[in-house]
Structure formats: C-alpha cells, structure tokens
C-alpha cells in the first residue's frame, strides 16, 4: 500500500500538502450537552493554492478556521487532524502555535473589529504583519506583501 507522499527509488518525493484537514470536528458545551459546530470537515491546500471558505451563516466557517489557527477557547472540543506542512497542529501548545501564526499560517477574520481596516492600504497591513512576525526591514516587508497579494490575486 502506498500513499501520495511515498516514492520509489529515483523518483522525487511528493511534498506534503501545505494544509491538510481531516475529519475535523468541533463541539461546544451547552445546557443540553455538547453541540456540534463542525462535523467531518476535510480539505487539502497545496502550496500555491488559495482557499476560500463560503457557506451560510452559522455553517461553521469561522469555527473551523479558528480551529486550524488554534484560537478556539479551552472549552471547545476539537478532534480530527490538522497538518501544516506535514506537522500535526492539534495538541500543539500555545507557545508553539504562536510561533507558527503569522510566519507559517495566517487568517483574515470576518469580524470588522479584527479584520483589515479601510483606513490603511491592504499592502501596508500585510507588511506590518510580516514585520511583526519576522525580522524583515520595512522595504523587504513591503516588497513581500506585494508578492503575496499578487499570488492570491489581490491588487495592493
């Protein structure tokens, strides 16, 4: 039996997906017992791909994304598998997750108070995040922000 990540002699190994979410389930306590917010979510994002998550209000978009980022409250129960570059994120400590946020994985929240602000250009805000999570100069961060925005089809 072989997986998509194994290789035969002489072949270049396939890298793991950038993000691989398998059988993700999230539930929260309530007076009537636990309530499922997400059940059996699966998706894979390869390097260079862009993922947009759409759905009706209350369908679990934010909860599943917050689970990937490791930002759910302690009372949330998260099961399944969330792998970033082949590395399991579920069960990872807050300190380790904090090092990954912004440098390896980021999220633009839909909450208007924590999302991008219309007062500043998008590129400036992305560059600010890059500088906060790395040692880039202002110029290097600005150039990288433009590259990243071009990559996902968003003009600065």
In a domain, residue 49? The reply is yes
Q: Given pLDDT bands bounded at 50, 70 and 90, which one contains residue 111?
A: low
Instruction: Provide the pLDDT for residue 135.
Output: 76
Whose tokens are 């894979």? That residue is: 44
The pLDDT, as a whole number, for residue 1 is 38
Q: What is the mean pLDDT of the chain?
A: 84
Tokens of 150: 């071009």
In a domain, 112, yes or no: no
Residue 151 in any domain: the answer is no
pLDDT, residue 4, reads 45
In tens, the pLDDT along 39-96 reads: 999 999 998 887 888 888 889 999 999 999 999 999 999 999 999 999 999 999 888 8
141 within 8 A of 130, measured Cβ to Cβ: yes
- The number of folded domains in the chain is 1
Question: Which residues are 27's β-sheet partners?
Answer: 36, 77
The answer to whether position 113 is within a domain reads no
Report the distance separating Cα 98 and Cα 115, nearest Å: 18
The answer on pLDDT for 98 being more than 80 is: yes
Domain range for 45 is 19-92
> How much is the pLDDT for 3?
41
140 lies in some domain: no
pTM: 0.66
């Amino acid at each position: 039996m072989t997986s998509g990540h194994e290789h035969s002699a002489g072949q270049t190994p396939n890298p793991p997906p950038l993000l691989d979410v398998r059988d993700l389930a999230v539930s929260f306590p309530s007076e009537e017992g636990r309530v499922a917010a997400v059940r059996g979510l699966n998706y894979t994002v390869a390097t260079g791909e862009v993922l947009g998550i759409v759905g009706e209000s209350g369908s679990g978009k934010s909860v599943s994304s917050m689970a990937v980022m490791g930002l759910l409250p302690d009372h949330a129960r998260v099961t399944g598998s969330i792998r970033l570059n082949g590395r399991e994120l579920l069960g990872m400590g807050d300190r380790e997750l904090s090092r990954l946020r912004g440098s390896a994985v980021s999220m633009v929240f839909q909450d208007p108070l924590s999302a991008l602000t219309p007062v500043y250009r998008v590129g400036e805000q992305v560059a600010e995040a890059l500088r906060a999570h790395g040692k880039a100069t202002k110029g290097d961060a600005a150039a990288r922000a433009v590259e990243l925005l071009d990559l996902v089809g968003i003009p600065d």
